[in-house]
Chain A
Amino acid sequence: MQELIRELTEGYGPSGNEERVRTMIQEHVQGLVDEVRTDALGNLICVRRPTAPGSGLKVMLSAHMDEIGFVVTHIDDDGFVRFDLVGGNSPFRLLGQRVAFADGTVGVIGTEKIDEIKDLKLEKLFIDVGMSGEGAKSHITIGDMATYHRPMETSGDRVIAKALDDRIGCAILVEFLRRKAPSPHEIYCVFTVQEEVGLRGATTAAFGVKPDLGIAVDVTSTGDTPKARTMDVKLGKGVAIKMKDRSLIAHPRVKDLLLATAEDRDIPHQREVLEFGGTDAGAIHLTRGGVPSGTLSIPCRYIHTPSEMVDMVDVRACVDLLEATLAREITL
């Protein structure tokens, strides 16, 4: 599974530019699903028909393909590129970072002279692509997007990479399909677009799928680093079952179903309350007349940096829990 995670996290896919990640996923799910389609916004919708007898639901599993990035707003005559943020980020994280554009052009983020670090504002920053004005303009145009440029690394069971938010969710859905576990449910694995800019892909995908049950798979913060903001989620302690975040209060019966299944099967898990942030489930549960929804989260340190860190124990637990939950009939 780590090779899949490497391929997905090293791929280029800022919000609105998910095509390459979508192509990768399309190749991996080939033969594992009965139908694949792409909708108007670019969501990849993969349908697996029921593979076991019993009364089944239409279940939408969602993981977003897009990652945060940078959008070009201006290129000056010396080739320096000004940019805005795509998704949540802070100038303090960006100094000296390397970024890459779709065509492979690599740049470094530099800053104008500042007297004090508190003066470090986004408009002081630029991307230096090491080219003349003419050179830069021949490779890059206004509206092009860049992402962090970093390879994946491992340390034991820990994986460190950019874009684990939410390629790890994508990898989990692919791995879930690979296991081919029998299920009475019609399962829609939806790889969504534009989550980082407002849960947009999930909004239209859920309208089209009309699910009976929605489960988003995404990363969550942790409280297990020195003097971290208090949060009862730790890396390596299992898949996090969401109680609440800014976008969703998990549907009580979905939450109970996930908790009971995890306890039943001794799958390592923890309860999660996230103070900030939201996931695709926030959009799914408000679709049409409402969809009972929940979220399975992978604890992740340093979210939205080039070095997000997850633990494979939690990743495997998440796949196990999805498989176990969807193996049996569900009454909501």
Chain B
Amino acid sequence: MILQQLSEAYGPSGDEGPVRELIAEEVRPHVEVLKVDSMGNLIAAKGLASSRPPVMVCAHMDEVALMVSWIEENGLLRFKKVGGIDDRILLSRAVKVGRKGVHGVIGAKPIHLQRPAERKSVVQSTDMFIDIGATDRSEAEKVVEPGDYALFDTRFEVTGDGMLKGKALDDRVGCAILCEVLKGDYSFPLYAVFTVQEELGLRGATVAAYSISPALGLVLEGTTCADIPGTEEPRWATRLGGGPALSVMDRASIANKDMLRRLREVAEREKIPYQFRRTTASGNDAGPVSLTREGVPTATVSVPCRYIHSAASMASRSDFENTVNLVSAFLADLSQRGY
């Protein structure tokens, strides 16, 4: 499945090239136009013979990552975070550095050398380093340089009863869904946009939406899910296996009410399970898309992902498939009944 390749591919915010090439190959047979804009967004369009106003559906290609900032004399790499990562999930992770994928591991001062006060607090990412096995700076410089990204080294796997485990499910699930959706035919110009730099401030979508100037926007995401022991149900945000999550409001946008109503109608008619995203935390590309030019009605549909922004997230295959079904049915509904 394309999701496996997408999850394992290299695509940190600002260097999404390999993911973009993968997607371009996947969607090329199904679209009329395929182009890359100046920021690196991949824009795939079809249905362009229609004179109806364009609909933009987007998913972001970039993933959270680390960036090498300094190489120590002894060959260890200091790094900065690219996007929101909890320091606590970094220690002892295996990573791959740079497009060449140099293997490394994130290290820090071992427990027996820590002072009592240090043991009680979380090791800060600024006190960690990536060890690529180089014995000194010049050896390290042969394979990495400051500015190289480091990604979690995680194999994608199908596990349990139809669960999907991998890195970067936020938002490669959205990318994979969009690839599927592009196989359908629609009676309006559909602009599928695979955006860049979402994790750094919704940047790619800002310029892509400006140039497309769509009449409607739909954002496909991987979103937070906390249906785990120790968390009470009101704070789950979403539930794994509960179906696609419809956003009502987050930090970047309030979903357009008519679109939300229509998504629910379509889901109920097609008997596709769905849930609401029950938190207002975080933001996504719907923010800039909705505020483009004179405003664009926009909504978000997400696949719940546990342990988002970590080395390995967990999503449900049925949520993924139901999201494909919901988005396809919604676009088919737009085709038939207009918007």
Question: Which A residues touch B294, using CB under 8 A?
Answer: 39-40, 204-205, 207-208
Question: Which A residues touch B252, using CB under 8 A?
Answer: 198
B278 within 8 A of A: yes
Check A197 against B293 for contact (C-beta < 8 Å): no
A9 within 8 A of B: no
Considering the complex, give the chain A residue whose CB is closest to the CB of B297: A40
Check A40 against B296 for contact (C-beta < 8 Å): yes
Considering the complex, give the chain A residue whose CB is closest to the CB of B216: A40
A residues 12-58 near B (Cβ < 8 Å) are: 15-17, 39-41, 43
Check B295 against A123 for contact (C-beta < 8 Å): no
- Cα distance A193–B280 in the bound complex, in angstroms: 18
Considering the complex, give the chain B residue whose CB is closest to the CB of A126: B234
Check B233 against A16 for contact (C-beta < 8 Å): no
Check A207 against B276 for contact (C-beta < 8 Å): no
A326 within 8 A of B: no
Which residue of A82, A85, A123, A207 is within 8 Å of B293 (Cβ)? A207
Most chain-A CB neighbours within 10 Å: which of B254, B276, B292, B297?
B254
Question: Which B residues touch A203, using CB under 8 A?
Answer: 291
A residues 169-202 near B (Cβ < 8 Å) are: 194, 197-198, 200-201
B258-292 CB contact bits vs A (8 Å, 1 = yes)? 00100000000000000010111000000000111
Given contacts A15-B254, A143-B260, contact A73 B291 (CB under 8 A): no
Check B254 against A76 for contact (C-beta < 8 Å): no
B200 within 8 A of A: no
B248 within 8 A of A: yes
Check A74 against B260 for contact (C-beta < 8 Å): no
Question: Which B residues touch A40, using CB under 8 A?
Answer: 294-297
Check B295 against A41 for contact (C-beta < 8 Å): yes
A240 within 8 A of B: no
Which residue of A73, A141, A207 is within 8 Å of B234 (Cβ)? A73
A81-116 CB contact bits vs B (8 Å, 1 = yes)? 010111000000000000000000000000000000
Question: Which A residues touch B279, using CB under 8 A?
Answer: 73, 84
Check B295 against A39 for contact (C-beta < 8 Å): yes
Question: Which A residues touch B36, using CB under 8 A?
Answer: none
State the Cβ distance, B212 to closest chain A Cβ, in Å: 15
- Cα distance A15–B252 in the bound complex, in angstroms: 13
B235 within 8 A of A: yes
Check B293 against A204 for contact (C-beta < 8 Å): yes
Check A200 against B297 for contact (C-beta < 8 Å): no
- Cα distance A200–B292 in the bound complex, in angstroms: 10
Which residue of A71, A85, A143, A200 is within 8 Å of B291 (Cβ)? A200
B28 within 8 A of A: no
Given contacts A40-B297, A143-B276, A204-B291, contact A197 B254 (CB under 8 A): yes
- Cα distance A95–B198 in the bound complex, in angstroms: 37
Question: Which A residues touch B260, using CB under 8 A?
Answer: 143
Which residue of B233, B249, B295, B296 is within 8 Å of A86 (Cβ)? B249
A142 within 8 A of B: yes
State the Cβ distance, A35 to closest chain B Cβ, in Å: 15
Which residue of B235, B276, B290 is within 8 Å of A41 (Cβ)? B290
Most chain-A CB neighbours within 10 Å: which of B290, B291, B296?
B291
B54-71 CB contact bits vs A (8 Å, 1 = yes)? 000000000000000000
- Cα distance A222–B93 in the bound complex, in angstroms: 52
Question: Which A residues touch B297, using CB under 8 A?
Answer: 40
Question: Which A residues touch B234, using CB under 8 A?
Answer: 73-74, 76, 82, 123
Considering the complex, give the chain B residue whose CB is closest to the CB of A66: B254
Question: Which A residues touch B233, using CB under 8 A?
Answer: 74, 76
B35 within 8 A of A: no
Which residue of A16, A39, A204, A205 is within 8 Å of B257 (Cβ)? A16
Check B295 against A71 for contact (C-beta < 8 Å): no
Check B293 against A16 for contact (C-beta < 8 Å): no
Check A73 against B293 for contact (C-beta < 8 Å): no
Question: Which A residues touch B290, using CB under 8 A?
Answer: 41, 200
Question: Which A residues touch B291, using CB under 8 A?
Answer: 41, 200, 203-204
Check B248 against A143 for contact (C-beta < 8 Å): yes
- Cα distance A16–B295 in the bound complex, in angstroms: 13
A residues 105-158 near B (Cβ < 8 Å) are: 123, 141-143
- Cα distance A205–B293 in the bound complex, in angstroms: 9
State the Cβ distance, B273 to closest chain A Cβ, in Å: 15
- Cα distance A330–B292 in the bound complex, in angstroms: 30
- Cα distance A141–B254 in the bound complex, in angstroms: 16
- Cα distance A330–B38 in the bound complex, in angstroms: 40
Question: Which A residues touch B235, using CB under 8 A?
Answer: 74, 123
Check B293 against A142 for contact (C-beta < 8 Å): no
Question: Which A residues touch B296, using CB under 8 A?
Answer: 40
- Cα distance A205–B291 in the bound complex, in angstroms: 10
Q: Besides the contacts A197-B254, A204-B292, A205-B295, what 4 more A-B pairs have beta carbons closer than 8 Å?
A: A16-B257, A40-B297, A86-B249, A207-B295
Pairs across A and B, CB under 8 Å, 22 listed: A15-B254, A16-B257, A17-B257, A40-B294, A40-B297, A73-B234, A73-B278, A74-B278, A84-B280, A123-B234, A141-B276, A142-B248, A143-B260, A197-B249, A200-B253, A203-B291, A204-B292, A204-B293, A204-B294, A205-B295, A208-B293, A208-B294
Residues of A at the B interface (CB closer than 8 Å) are 15-17, 39-41, 43, 71, 73-74, 76, 82, 84-86, 123, 141-143, 194, 197-198, 200-201, 203-205, 207-208
* For the complex of A and B, 9 pairs with smallest distance between CB atoms: A143-B248, A204-B295, A16-B254, A40-B295, A74-B234, A41-B295, A208-B294, A142-B276, A82-B234
Residues of B at the A interface (CB closer than 8 Å) are 233-235, 248-249, 252-254, 257, 260, 276, 278-280, 290-297
